[in-house]
C-alpha cells in the first residue's frame, strides 16, 4: 500500500514534466458561433418514434442432446416455441422506455426493461436464465439430496447440469452534468446437480452433488467528471450463500464406516471499495485505480469424520472465521516526450493478505484413521509489475514500440517464495497507402526463482511450473491486405515457447502455436462472403520419477484444434424482399498424449472433439411490417475420450464411476417464425 502511494507520487511528479500533448487532437471551439443554427431540416420526430417488434414461431429439434442444448435451452427433443419481443417508446423530452425480451419461451430467456430520461436518470430491470446441460447418460446407484443412499433397485439415470437465474436492478441518477450516481442490486441463483467424486479410504464414488447457491450483490458508484479531472468512488458487497453445507453418502463397501461426508462450498461475503482518478497533469494524462477487498467466511466446520470409531476432540474453533484482505492498484502515465515519441509508464500492485486464524487440526484420512496434526493452509501473495513503453513514429506509415516490464511475485509459505520476471519487447506496425498492413511483435522474458525450500513431501528435484524459473519467447506476426474494394484478406501467426531451465521434474517445456487466415469477399453489392481458419496447438513435456530420484519417464502432451468458419450473406433477392445467410462452422480438436518410459513411447488412443454445424437462415419481407424467418440448423458432433471410453460404473477398480460417454450425435433444428413491426 505504501509502495503504491509512493509510485503514485512518483508518477505524479513525472507527469508534471513539460512534455507535449498526450491527447493528440483537441478540437478548437474558440470561434464557434451557433446563434444562427436552427436545424430546420433535422427530422427530430425520428427520435420520438415508438417502435415495437414481436417474433413468434416454433423450432423443432430432432433429438435431446445435452451438448447441443448445453447453453441455449434447446435440450429437449420436439417442438420449442420461439418468442422474442422488443418495445421502445421515446419522448421528445428524452424520456424513454425500452423492453427487450429474447428466447422468452426457452430456458435461456432474457428480459430487460429500462426506463428513464436520458442524461437525468435511468432504471433498468433484468432477468436472465442460463442453462448448462452436461450429461443425461450418467448413472448412479444413489438416491437422495444431501444424504445419498444406495438404492436397492440398482442404477438410475441422473441428469447433470445447472441452471443460473440472474435478476438485476440498476438505477442511475445524474443530478448535474458533472456528477453521476449509480446503484445496482443483483441476485443470482444456481441450482442443479454437478458431477463430483469422493472416496472412503481409497474407494471413490461418483456423487451427484446438489447445488443451491444464492449470490446477492449490491454496489454503488459516484463519479465526478470535468474536462481535466475524473474522480470515481465505488463500493460493493457480494454475499454468497450455499444452502447445503455438506453432502453425505452411504459407503458401499464397508459397514465399519457407514458413510462419507464432504464439506461443500462455504457461504462467504466479499466487500470491495475502489477509487479511480484520471487527470491531466502538466500535459500528460495520469490514470489510477485503487481497490480494496475484504473476503470472509465463517461457516461452521463439520466434524472430522463420520466414523464413530475415530475418537478425536473437535477442532479448537467451531468455525474458521477465514478472512483475506486484498489490495490492488494500477497507475499509468502517458505523455509525449517529443513530436514523434510517446512514453508510457505503468505500475500495478496486487496483494493478498490472509488473516485467517491458525488452526491445528488432526485430519482423518478417508474417514478411516487419524493422521498427524498439522495447521490449516492459508497463503499470502504479492505481485508487483512495473512497465515502461516507448512508442516511436519514425514515419507516417510506421510505428515502433519498445517496452520493458519487471514483474515480481512473493508468496508465503511456499517452496519458491518469490519470482522476478523481466520482459522486454519490440513491436513494429506498418500501414501502407495501398491497403497493406503488417505487424510484428517479439517478446522475450526471463523469470528467476528464489532458492527452493522443501515444505512438502514432493520430490525435491521437482519444480511446480507456475513457480519455476522459466524462459519465454513470443512471436506475433500479422498481415492484412485490402486487395481491392471487394476483397480483403489477412494472415496471422502467434508462437510462444517456454522452457523451464532449472526444472528436473515437472513441466520441462511448453509450446503454444497458433496461426490463422481470413478473408472478406463481396463479388457484388448484395453478396458478402467471409471466412476464416485458425489453428491452435498447445504442447508440453512433463518429466516424472517413480523412484523419488531423477526423471525416468516423460509425458508428451499436445492439444490441437483447427477451426473453420464460413458465412455467406446475400441480400435483396426476389424483388429485394429475401435475405439469405448460410453459415458453416467446423472445429476439429485432437489430443495427442504419449508416455515415454525408457525410450519406449506409448501413445494414448483417440481424444477428439469434432464439431460441425451448418445453418441456413432466410428472411422474407412480406409487406411493410411483416417478415417470415425460416431456419435450418444441423450440428454433427463426435467426441472421443479415452478417460471415458468403456468406463461403466463397475469398470474401474475402487471407482464407482458415472459411466457416461463422450457425446456423438447428429441433430437438426428447423424453425419458422413470423416477425412483425407494430
Partner 1 sequence: MLGCNATSIAKYLRKGRKRRLGSFFAVAFSVAAATGGAASEYAHDLLVAKVLVGDYSRRGADTCLGCHDEAEPFPTLDVFRTVHGHPAVPGSPFETSREAALPAGLQCEACHGPAGDHARSILPDGVDREPMVNFGDRANASPALQNGLCLACHANYERAHWADSAHEAAGLACADCHVVHDPVDAVRTRDTQARACAACHRNVVADAFKRSAHPMRDNQLVCRDCHDPHGGGTEALAVESTVNETCLGCHAELRGPFLWEHAPVVEDCGICHLPHGSNQPALLVRRAPQLCQGCHSSVGHRSFALDPDDLANGRASAFLLANACLNCHFAVHGSNHPSGNLFRR
Q: What order of strands is seen across the sheet that includes strand 259-263?
A: 142-143, 147-150, 246-250, 259-263
Is the separation of the CB atoms in 321 and 295 below 8 Å? no
* Residue closer to partner 1 (CB basis): 432 or 574: 432
Residue with cell 456423487: 207
User: Is position 116 an interface residue for partner 1 (rule: CB under 8 A)?
Assistant: no
Q: How far apart are CA 535 and CA 66, in angstroms?
A: 27
CA-CA distance, 343 to 337, in Å (whole number)?
A: 6
Check residue 462 for interaction with partner 1 (CB under 8 A).
Answer: yes
Binding of partner 1 by 395 (CB under 8 A)? yes
* 549 CB neighbour count, 10 Å cutoff: 11
Residue 454 makes contact with partner 1 by CB under 8 A: no
Rounded to an integer, what distance in angstroms lies between the CA atom of residue 548 and that of residue 504?
12
Give the residues across from 300 on adjacent strands.
319
- Binder of partner 1 out of 14, 123, 150, 301 (CB under 8 A): 301
Distances (CA, A) of 181 to 176, 177, 222, 225, 270: 10, 11, 5, 12, 22
Cβ–Cβ < 8 Å for 307, 367:
yes
In the window 133-172, what residues touch partner 1 (CB under 8 A)? none
CB 648, min distance to partner 1, A:
8
Residue numbers 26-45 binding partner 1 by CB under 8 A: 26-34, 36-44
Rg for the chain, CA atoms, rounded: 30
Binding mask 602-621 for partner 1 (x = CB under 8 A): xxxx-x-x-x----------
Work out how close the CB of 193 gets to partner 1 at its nearest, in angstroms, rounded to a whole number. Answer: 15
Is residue 443 at the binding interface for partner 1, with CB under 8 A as the rule? no
Write down the least CB distance from residue 424 to partner 1, Å.
16
Cβ of residue 256: shortest distance to partner 1, in angstroms?
17
Number of shown-chain residues binding partner 1 (CB under 8 A):
214
Candidates 144, 258, 516, 572; binder of partner 1 (CB under 8 A) is: 516
Closest CA to 674 of 627, 624, 620, 631: 627
Of 146, 162, 376, 474, the one binding partner 1 by CB under 8 A: 376
Find how far residue 155's CA is from the centre of its chain. 36
- Shortest Cβ 266–partner 1 spacing (Å): 5
Return the bridge partners of 534, or none. Answer: 516, 563
Among positions 47-66, residues that touch partner 1 (CB under 8 A) are 47, 49
Neighbours of 657 (CB within 10 A): 20
Write down the least CB distance from residue 30 to partner 1, Å.
6
Instruction: Tell me: does residue 526 bind partner 1 (CB under 8 A).
Output: no
For partner 1, which is the closer residue by CB, 52 or 574? 52
Question: In the block, which residue shows the cell 465399519?
Answer: 256
Site string for partner 1, 185-224 (x = CB under 8 A): ---x-x----xxxxx--x-x-x------x-x-----x-x-
Q: What are phi and psi of 7, to 5 degrees?
A: -65, -40
Q: Is 546 in the site for partner 1 (CB under 8 A)?
A: yes
Stretch that binds partner 1, among 10-18, 148-156, 349-357, 442-450 (CB under 8 A): 349-357
What are the backbone dihedrals phi and psi of residue 47, each rounded to the nearest 5 degrees, phi first?
-70, -15
Instruction: Using the minimum distance from each CB to partner 1, give the nearer residue, 153 or 373.
Output: 373
**Rounded distance between C-alpha atoms, residue 174 and residue 223, angstroms:** 9
| Window 261 to 290, contacts with partner 1 (CB under 8 A) | 261-263, 265-266, 268, 270, 272, 274, 276-278, 285, 287-289
Among 143, 386, 450, 458, binds partner 1 (CB under 8 A): 458
Asked if residues 35 and 301 have their Cβ atoms less than 8 Å apart, the reply is no
* 19: contact with partner 1 by CB under 8 A: no
Stretch that binds partner 1, among 58-66, 143-151, 338-346, 626-634 (CB under 8 A): 338-346
Strands (E), 74-202: 78-90, 95-102, 110-117, 121-140, 142-143, 147-150, 156-176, 179-200
Least distance (Å) between residue 305 CB and partner 1: 6
Check whether the bond before 29 is cis (ω within 30° of 0): no
- Residue keyed to cell 519458491: 416
Q: How far is the CB of 607 from partner 1 (least distance, A)?
A: 8
- Cβ distance 496 to 477 under 8 Å? no
Determine how many CB atoms are found less than 10 A away from the CB of residue 19. 20
Residue with cell 483537441: 26
Pick out residues in 409-438 that bind partner 1 (CB under 8 A): 409, 411, 414, 429, 431, 433-435, 437
Nearest to 673 by CA among 643, 634, 630, 632: 630
Query: Using CA atoms, how far apart are residues 218 and 186, in angstroms rounded to an integer?
Result: 7
645 binding partner 1? (CB under 8 A): yes
Interaction of residue 9 with partner 1, rule CB under 8 A: no
The cell for 196 is 463430483
Cα–Cα distance list, 97 to 125, 182, 342, 625 (Å) = 11, 18, 45, 22
Q: Which is nearer to partner 1, 90 or 676 (CB)?
A: 90
Smaller CB separation from partner 1, 204 or 578: 204
Q: Indicate the SS3 state at residue 120.
A: coil
Q: Is 465 in the site for partner 1 (CB under 8 A)?
A: yes
User: Binders of partner 1 among 550-569, rule CB under 8 A?
Assistant: 552-555, 557, 559-561, 563, 565
Pick one of 118, 252, 486, 576: the residue that binds partner 1 (CB under 8 A).
118
60 or 187: CB nearest partner 1: 187
Q: Is 534 helix (H, G, I), strand (E, B) or coil?
A: strand
Residues 77-96 that bind partner 1 (CB under 8 A): 90, 92-94
| Footprint (CB under 8 A) of partner 1, residues 567-606 | 585, 587, 589-591, 593, 595, 597, 602-605
Which of 459, 497, 522, 666 is the binder for partner 1 (CB under 8 A)?
A: 459
Does the protein bind partner 1 through residue 379 (CB under 8 A)?
Answer: yes
Mark the segment that binds partner 1 (CB under 8 A) among 4-12, 150-158, 514-522, 665-673: 514-522
Q: Should residue 651 be labelled a site residue for partner 1 when binding is judged by CB under 8 A?
A: yes
Name the residue nearer to partner 1 (CB basis): 506 or 580.
Answer: 506
Q: Which of 144, 282, 366, 572 binds partner 1 (CB under 8 A)?
A: 366
Among 393, 426, 483, 526, binds partner 1 (CB under 8 A): 393
Cβ 371 vs Cβ 365: under 8 Å: yes
656 burial type by CB count under 10 A (0-12 exposed, 13-18 middle, 19+ buried): buried
CA-based diameter of the chain, in Å?
A: 94
Which is closer to partner 1, CB of 526 or CB of 652? Answer: 652
Amino acid at each position: 500500500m505504501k509502495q503504491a502511494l509512493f509510485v503514485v507520487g512518483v508518477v505524479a511528479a513525472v507527469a508534471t514534466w513539460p512534455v507535449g500533448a498526450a491527447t493528440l487532437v483537441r478540437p478548437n471551439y474558440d470561434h464557434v458561433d451557433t446563434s444562427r443554427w436552427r436545424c430546420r431540416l433535422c427530422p427530430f420526430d425520428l427520435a420520438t418514434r415508438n417502435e415495437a417488434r414481436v417474433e413468434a414461431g416454433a423450432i423443432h429439434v430432432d433429438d435431446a442432446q445435452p451438448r447441443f442444448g448445453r447453453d441455449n435451452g434447446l435440450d429437449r427433443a420436439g417442438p420449442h416455441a420461439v418468442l422474442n419481443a422488443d418495445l421502445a417508446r421515446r419522448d421528445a423530452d428524452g424520456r424513454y422506455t425500452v423492453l427487450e425480451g429474447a428466447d422468452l419461451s426457452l430456458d435461456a430467456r432474457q428480459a430487460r426493461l429500462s426506463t428513464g430520461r436520458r442524461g437525468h436518470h435511468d432504471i433498468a430491470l433484468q432477468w436472465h436464465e442460463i442453462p448448462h446441460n452436461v450429461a443425461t447418460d450418467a448413472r448412479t446407484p444413489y438416491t437422495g439430496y444431501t444424504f445419498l443412499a444406495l438404492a436397492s433397485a440398482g442404477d438410475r439415470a441422473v441428469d447433470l447440469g445447472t441452471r443460473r437465474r440472474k435478476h438485476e436492478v440498476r438505477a442511475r441518477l445524474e443530478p448535474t452534468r458533472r456528477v453521476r450516481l449509480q446503484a445496482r442490486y443483483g441476485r443470482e441463483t444456481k441450482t442443479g446437480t454437478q458431477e463430483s467424486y469422493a472416496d472412503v479410504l481409497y474407494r471413490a464414488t461418483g456423487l451427484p452433488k446438489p447445488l443451491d447457491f444464492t449470490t446477492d450483490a449490491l454496489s454503488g458508484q459516484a463519479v465526478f467528471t470535468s474536462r481535466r479531472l475524473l474522480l470515481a468512488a465505488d463500493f460493493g458487497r457480494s454475499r454468497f450463500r450455499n444452502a447445503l453445507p455438506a453432502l453425505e453418502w452411504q459407503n458401499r463397501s464397508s459397514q465399519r464406516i457407514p458413510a462419507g461426508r464432504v464439506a461443500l462450498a462455504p457461504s462467504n461475503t466479499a466487500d470491495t471499495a475502489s477509487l479511480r482518478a484520471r487527470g491531466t497533469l502538466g500535459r500528460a494524462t495520469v490514470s489510477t485505480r485503487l481497490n480494496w477487498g475484504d473476503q470472509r467466511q465463517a461457516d461452521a466446520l463439520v466434524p472430522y469424520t463420520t466414523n464413530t470409531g475415530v475418537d478425536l476432540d473437535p477442532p479448537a474453533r467451531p468455525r474458521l472465521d477465514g478472512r483475506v484482505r486484498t489490495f490492488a492498484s494500477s497507475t499509468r502515465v502517458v505523455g509525449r516526450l517529443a513530436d514523434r515519441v510517446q512514453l508510457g509508464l505503468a505500475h500495478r500492485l496486487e496483494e493478498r493478505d490472509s488473516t485467517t486464524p491458525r488452526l491445528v487440526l488432526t485430519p482423518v484420512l478417508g474417514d478411516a484413521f487419524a493422521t498427524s496434526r498439522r495447521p490449516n493452509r492459508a497463503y499470502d501473495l504479492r505481485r508487483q509489475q512495473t512497465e515502461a513503453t516507448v512508442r516511436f513514429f519514425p514515419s507516417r506509415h510506421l510505428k515502433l514500440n519498445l517496452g520493458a516490464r519487471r514483474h515480481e511475485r512473493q508468496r508465503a509459505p511456499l517452496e519458491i517464495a518469490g519470482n522476478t520476471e523481466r520482459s522486454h519487447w519490440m513491436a513494429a506496425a506498418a500501414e501502407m497507402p495501398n491497403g497493406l498492413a503488417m505487424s510484428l511483435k517479439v517478446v522475450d522474458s526471463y523469470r528467476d526463482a528464489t532458492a527452493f525450500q522443501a515444505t512438502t513431501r514432493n520430490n525435491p528435484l521437482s519444480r511446480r511450473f507456475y513457480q519455476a524459473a522459466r524462459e519465454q519467447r513470443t512471436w506475433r506476426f500479422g498481415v492484412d491486405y485490402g486487395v481491392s474494394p471487394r476483397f480483403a484478406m489477412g494472415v496471422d501467426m502467434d508462437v510462444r515457447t517456454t522452457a523451464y531451465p532449472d526444472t528436473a521434474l515437472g513441466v520441462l517445456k511448453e509450446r503454444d502455436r497458433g496461426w490463422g487466415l481470413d478473408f472478406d469477399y463481396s463479388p457484388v453489392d448484395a453478396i458478402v462472403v467471409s471466412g476464416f481458419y485458425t489453428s491452435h496447438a498447445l504442447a508440453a513435456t512433463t518429466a516424472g520419477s517413480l523412484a523419488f530420484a531423477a526423471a525416468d519417464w516423460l509425458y508428451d502432451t499436445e492439444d490441437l484444434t483447427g477451426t473453420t468458419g464460413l458465412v455467406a450473406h446475400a441480400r435483396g433477392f426476389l424483388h429485394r424482399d429475401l435475405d439469405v445467410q448460410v453459415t458453416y462452422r467446423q472445429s476439429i480438436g485432437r489430443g495427442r498424449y504419449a508416455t515415454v518410459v525408457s525410450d519406449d513411447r506409448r501413445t494414448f488412443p483417440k481424444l477428439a472433439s469434432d464439431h460441425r454445424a451448418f445453418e441456413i437462415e432466410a428472411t422474407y419481407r412480406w409487406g411493410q411490417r411483416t417478415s417470415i424467418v425460416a431456419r435450418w440448423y444441423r450440428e454433427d458432433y463426435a467426441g472421443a475420450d479415452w478417460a471415458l471410453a468403456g468406463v461403466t460404473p463397475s469398470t474401474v477398480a475402487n471407482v464407482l464411476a458415472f459411466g457416461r460417454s463422450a457425446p456423438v450425435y447428429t441433430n437438426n433444428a428447423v424453425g419458422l417464425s413470423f416477425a412483425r413491426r407494430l
